[in-house]
Amino acid sequence: MKDANRTINEKILEQLNRRYAVKKFDAGKKISDADWNTLEQSLILAPTSYGLQPFKFVVVTDENLKKELTPAAYGQTQIADCSHLVVVAYKKVLTDADIEHFVDRIVEVRNTPRESMEDYENTMKATAKKAVADGTIENWNSRQAYLALGFLLETAAVLNIDTCPMEGFNPAEVNRILGLEDYSAVVLCPVGYRDAENDWLANLPKVRFPKEELIDRR
């Protein structure tokens, strides 16, 4: 078992070291349906505060739509050349109806009596109302969206699939093109396979501070 764990640990670190923010994708290589299903599930299974999932993911594979979105990302070619473009969007607000919808889902999945959820439901509603009143709801919800992005990046790395998370884009323009109203794009993530021969970053060593500088053990 120890040898098996060592192999798993080594494999994870190998894949994470292989991962980088791809600058040039191979436009001719597409992700299989089976692999894409796993990547979508990684987004769905990501943790969020209370489990509320205050986000949505617009997956763009239509070539014309990817080209239309490229200028909104300041012409970065990864948008058009990737296999799948994931637009990570957070919910602009949380309402009582959103909380009730989530509680309904808990009741459905866990066969939990609705009345037993009353205190939890009220706590969530109070938290959401305070965040809305304080003007922090968009910040809170966008942080939840980034948790999902992290799950996507690591899962892709384990599958030998490449990614390039981007904050360099015009959210208002992306929202307009995709018709997002209750949600707002917070990060774009092209997903596909690197064109290593034409990507200047592909073969450069990964630059990270040593763990002694970043990890404080107490």
Q: Does domain 19-93+141-203 have CATH number 3.40.109.10?
A: yes
Distance CA 186, CA 167 (A): 7
Name the pTM for this structure. 0.95
Contact call for residues 188 and 11 (beta carbons, < 8 A): no
Number of H helices, E strands in the chain: 9, 4
The C-alpha atoms of residue 103 and residue 119 are separated, in whole angstroms, by 11
Q: Is the pLDDT of residue 6 over 80?
A: no
Residue-wise pLDDT for 118-140, tens only, equals 999 999 999 999 999 999 999 99
pLDDT tens track for 166-205 = 999 999 999 999 999 999 999 999 999 999 999 999 999 9
Pinpoint the alpha helices (H) of 54-117: 63-69, 78-81, 96-110
Spell out the domain ranges in the chain: 19-93+141-203
Tens-place pLDDT, residues 49-77: 999 999 999 999 999 999 999 999 999 99
Q: Per-residue pLDDT averaged across 16-41, rounded?
A: 98
Amino acid identity, position 119: D
Other Cβ atoms within 10 Å of 42 Cβ, number = 20
